[in-house]
Amino acid sequence: MTTETTDRPGARQGIPAGIWVLGFVSMLMDISSEMIHALLPIYMVTVLGTSALTVGVIEGIAEATASITKVFSGALSDWLGKRKLLAAFGYGLAAFTRPIFPLAPSIDWLVAARFIDRIGKGIRGAPRDALVADIAPPHLRGASFGLRQSLDTIGAFLGPLLAIGLMWVTAFHFKTVFWIAAIPAFLSVGLILVAVKEPERPKEQRPVRMPLHRDELHRLGATYWWVVAIATVFTLARFSEAFLILRAQSIGLPMVLAPVVLVIMSLAYSLSAYPVGVLSDRVNRLTILIVGLFLLLAADLVLAFALGTLGLVLGVVLWGLHMGFTQGLLATLIADAAPAELRGTAFGMFNLVTGVALLIASVVAGALWDAMGPQGTFLAGAVFTVLTLVGLLPVRARLGKRAVG
């Protein structure tokens, strides 16, 4: 079939049911995660008295932990030839850490809970993304990754919204909200166990005995490693969304309304991710990625100089749009470039390298915030975005042929 399939109004119906289910699994877990994470930076700063730098370090370590774990879970899924079991275990581990958040008596417990939660994310991440690539037809790969990302981000939109409502209903009782957040997490685990069917590995597909061996990593190919390099520099420009919440607070938004920035960001993200995925099956994917980088540059500049709520909202919308234009697209580029039998390893290595970059970016952002305030943090992000654009333009021709769906 040709990519023109996506031009028809019914193209969405061509996406397999397994992609939809994985999207809803992600959505439920994200509702749970974002109910907690939307409040956690404020809880740590205002209740426990931690600094912005500490928030940046914790966020960076948490995401880097997830990324490191993804390498091994992705490689293990290639070795086993099975991905669903590992993904379900990762979702389960995250769900069982939820009670730690309301029970934590100190910052150390919160760090431990965040750490274990991110291990669960790491275990599920690469096998789940590889499973999406295994299930999705090649001509609908961009749309499939976009759909899963869109549903995931709907959860990221609903989570903070629920957190705001529950904070109001419970008279700002953080721990009650943390307890309620456990419910969708356990629903997510049940859904993946019951409703996702993993396709059989093709008999003609080459078995992988040592996925992380140098020879296997070499088989990933030059195009794959170019994509990883570009994504790494890009990640240095995209620090944790926790700083969007802190930016809202710095402008004077009331504490109970600060998580609304994640609601706005996730709404822009979820509304753009699927259409961008469909578009990426029909046009050059690198062109769309460049558009996403310009959106990030605009977001950084607006947030650096925002003086009031309108500027904040505009910057957050632009940030969400840049996520919709880039995150699912980067996953699609990895799926395009990697051999089918090494997709788990490919996603794992991709997430390891970008996770380390996110750790560096979040720590630097926190340090700049404490030293120079919000403006220094977001202007530094703008500088790294420009560097990414400069580095991407010369290799566009090299990647362009493979980047077309």
Q: Is residue 5 part of a domain?
A: no
CATH of the domain at 112: 1.20.1250.20
Q: Is residue 70 assigned to a domain? A: yes
Does 256 reside within a domain?
Answer: yes
213 within some domain: no
The answer to whether residue 142 sits within a structural domain is yes
Its pTM surpasses 0.85: no
Work out how many domains the chain is built from and give that number.
1
Domain enclosing residue 115, as ranges: 15-198+218-403
The per-residue pLDDT string of the chain (405 residues; one tens digit each, 9 = 90 and over) reads 333 333 443 444 588 889 999 999 999 999 998 888 777 777 777 767 677 677 767 766 776 677 678 778 888 888 888 889 899 999 999 998 888 887 777 777 877 888 888 889 889 988 898 899 888 888 888 888 888 988 988 887 788 788 888 888 887 778 888 899 999 999 999 999 999 888 877 777 777 777 777 888 888 888 888 888 888 888 887 777 778 888 888 887 776 677 678 788 888 988 898 899 888 888 878 888 889 999 999 999 999 898 888 898 999 999 999 999 988 888 888 888 888 888 888 888 888 888 788 778 878 888 888 888 888 888 988 988 888 888 776 666 555 544 443
> Is residue 208 domain-resident?
no
Round to whole Å and give the CA distance between 344 and 84.
12
Among residues 295, 278, 269, 277, which one has the least CA distance to residue 388? Answer: 295
With tokens 């990754």, the residue in question is: 145
299 vs 316: CA distance, rounded Å: 7
**Cβ atoms within 10 Å of 111's Cβ, excluding its own:** 17
- Residue 125 domain flag: yes
Residue 154 lies in a domain: yes
